[in-house]
């Protein structure tokens, strides 16, 4: 099965098309979406096993020789990201059954999710820079639908901002690819890497590197370019927010990591130094936002920004600990952000508000929710047995090895701020006297149905932390390909 690496892209696409035929039938929509995601998940797991056994999988579409056709490349990093993406989407879809409402389900909600997964998985798997642009557009156009679906006033306002920012950054993406093409004359990522190594990164390539940083920085919300994110992400309903928060910015991060480890590795002092500086500023900006708000959604949204900074700071060190820490933290952050958004969605459902000052005493009435939230919060902050620990430990270790003492201290200090911001939610929402706050009447069965996928995601993130030892070989494989581009290049340009 040489086409195995395409299955996680094709299968969601196929099921999204099938769903177009059953617009009004919600039962069919729900079951087909679940079946499609389950099959995709199985395919993705097979892919991970295959990459583990046989090394990097590469395939050039249409039986054309490598630099001339579109190459699809699945190394361990992209295989793991694809698997995590499908897993999170599955739980968010299960959560949507109770949380999203029939009105939205009847207007292409599930097809939009599946099209978005097609785009995300494609962007993770592609080995062609222009094809990456196309997959970015696939996921962005589906996300435009998801952010505006429902047509509330706030959604309409924020979707205009979101679309405007992304259209501009996509145009910049095309311009940057055009510059790169005019310099190296190829679009295949492995071939670009070879050509840049041949000409030894002159000034123009460094300029293109910075342009890529701007393009992907807008998608992945890097420091001066994250301005659109807090407003836009707060507008759509919680399941959509969970998908966006867990998946979309990570595509930008992946693109930065991929281009900065494969293409622009000959002038590390400038490009990676700039990336480190911007990453630290991102962490600081995120920390300020996370402490400034009394709104559940905003606090967790600013925690996305912090995580983006942490991951990119690790990746910018370009040493083994830093990069493997970034890979660990990237996957941890996808799982934990998915879990946290689902949990705060339940808190908002139970209390009927996202304002921290208007809630309290939930521990007496909703104890399991409280404990699950506490575990997720500790996992986010990186308390040792839980999932956030090992990634951050490795990143800090990598930063010390590279001599970035100040950066390491910023990361460690940011963990405290992260812990403070999420524990504040816990204290305000769960402690206190339940009689002071009037809870709206909510359906206990709906609450339980919403809890199940959220709890499953929290358990997964705990397993990710406890099973670190078991995951290390996979992470090592991912790191090796990032640090030694020759493995990637040899896999694509065989012969």
Write out the residues near another protein by the rule CB under 8 A.
Answer: 1-3, 6, 10, 13-14, 17-18, 20-21, 23, 59-63, 72
Closest contact distance (angstroms) between CB of 66 and another protein is 11
Residue closer to another protein, measured from CB, 107 or 227: 107
Residue closer to another protein, measured from CB, 84 or 126: 126
Closest contact distance (angstroms) between CB of 268 and another protein is 35
Radius of gyration of the chain (CA): 22
Residue closer to another protein, measured from CB, 96 or 125: 125
Query: Given the structure tokens 């920390």, which residue do they identify?
Result: 287
Closest contact distance (angstroms) between CB of 51 and another protein is 17
Closest contact distance (angstroms) between CB of 62 and another protein is 4
Q: What is the rounded distance in angstroms from the CA atom of residue 364 to the CA atom of residue 345?
A: 19
Residue closer to another protein, measured from CB, 20 or 178: 20
Closest contact distance (angstroms) between CB of 84 and another protein is 23
Q: What is the rounded distance in angstroms from the CA atom of residue 141 to the CA atom of residue 125?
A: 19
Closest contact distance (angstroms) between CB of 178 and another protein is 21
Neighbours of 234 (CB within 10 A): 18
Residue closer to another protein, measured from CB, 113 or 205: 113
Residue closer to another protein, measured from CB, 71 or 408: 71
Neighbours of 71 (CB within 10 A): 25
Residue closer to another protein, measured from CB, 62 or 269: 62
Closest contact distance (angstroms) between CB of 14 and another protein is 6
Sequence-ordered list of residues with C-beta below 8 angstroms from that of 361, at least 6 positions apart, any chain: 430, 431, 432, 433, 434, 435, 436, 437
Q: What is the dihedral of CA 71, 72, 75, 80, to 10 degrees?
A: 160
Contacts 24+ apart (CB under 8 A), 282-288: 282/221, 282/222, 282/223, 282/226, 282/306, 282/308, 282/309, 282/312, 283/309, 283/310, 283/313, 283/410, 283/411, 283/414, 284/309, 284/410, 284/414, 285/223, 285/226, 286/226, 286/414, 287/414, 287/417, 287/418
Closest contact distance (angstroms) between CB of 280 and another protein is 42
Residue closer to another protein, measured from CB, 6 or 184: 6
Residue closer to another protein, measured from CB, 61 or 413: 61
Closest contact distance (angstroms) between CB of 75 and another protein is 18
């Amino acid at each position: 099965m040489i086409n195995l690496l395409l299955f996680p892209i094709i299968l969601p696409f196929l099921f999204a098309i099938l769903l177009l035929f059953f617009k009004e039938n919600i039962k069919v929509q729900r079951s087909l979406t679940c079946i499609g995601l389950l099959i995709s998940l199985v395919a993705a797991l097979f892919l991970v096993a295959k990459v583990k056994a046989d090394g990097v999988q590469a395939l050039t579409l249409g039986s054309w020789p490598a630099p001339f056709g579109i190459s699809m490349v699945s190394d361990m990093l992209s295989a793991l990201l694809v698997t995590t993406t499908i897993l999170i989407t599955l739980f968010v879809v299960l959560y949507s059954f109770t949380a999203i409402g029939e009105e939205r389900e009847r207007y292409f909600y599930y097809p939009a999710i599946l099209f978005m997964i097609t785009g995300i998985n494609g962007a993770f798997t592609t080995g062609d820079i222009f094809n990456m642009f196309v997959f970015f557009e696939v996921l962005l156009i589906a996300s435009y639908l998801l952010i505006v679906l429902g047509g509330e006033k706030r959604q309409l306002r924020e979707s205009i901002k979101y679309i405007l920012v992304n259209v501009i950054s996509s145009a910049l993406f095309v311009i940057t690819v055009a510059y790169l093409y005019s310099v190296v004359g190829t679009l295949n990522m492995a071939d670009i890497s070879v050509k840049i190594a041949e000409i030894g990164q002159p000034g123009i390539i460094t300029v293109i590197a910075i342009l890529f940083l701007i393009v992907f920085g807008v998608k992945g919300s890097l420091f001066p370019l994250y301005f659109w994110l807090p407003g836009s992400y707060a507008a759509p309903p919680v399941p959509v927010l969970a998908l966006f928060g867990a998946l979309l910015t990570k595509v930008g991060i992946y693109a930065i990591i991929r281009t900065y480890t494969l293409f622009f590795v000959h002038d590390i002092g400038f490009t990676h130094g700039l990336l480190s500086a911007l990453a630290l500023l991102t962490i600081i900006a995120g920390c300020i936002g996370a402490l400034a708000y009394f709104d559940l959604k905003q606090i967790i949204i600013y925690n996305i920004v912090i995580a983006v900074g942490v991951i990119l700071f690790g990746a910018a060190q370009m040493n083994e600990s830093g990069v493997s820490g970034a890979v660990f933290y990237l996957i941890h952050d996808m799982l934990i952000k998915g879990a946290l958004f689902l949990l705060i969605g339940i808190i908002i459902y139970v209390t009927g508000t996202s304002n921290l000052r208007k809630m309290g005493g939930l521990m007496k009435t909703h104890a399991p929710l409280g404990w699950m939230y506490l575990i997720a919060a500790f996992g986010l902050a990186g308390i040792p047995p839980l999932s956030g620990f090992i990634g951050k430990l490795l990143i800090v270790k990598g930063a010390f090895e590279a001599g970035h003492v100040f950066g390491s201290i910023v990361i460690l200090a940011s963990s405290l701020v992260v812990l403070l911001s999420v524990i504040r939610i816990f204290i305000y929402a769960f402690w206190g006297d339940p009689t002071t706050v009037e809870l709206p009447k909510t359906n206990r069965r709906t609450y339980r149905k919403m809890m199940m996928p959220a709890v499953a995601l929290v358990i997964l993130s705990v397993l990710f932390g406890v099973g670190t030892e078991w995951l290390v070989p996979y992470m090592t494989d991912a790191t090796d390909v990032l640090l030694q581009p020759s493995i990637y290049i040899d896999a694509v340009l065989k012969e």
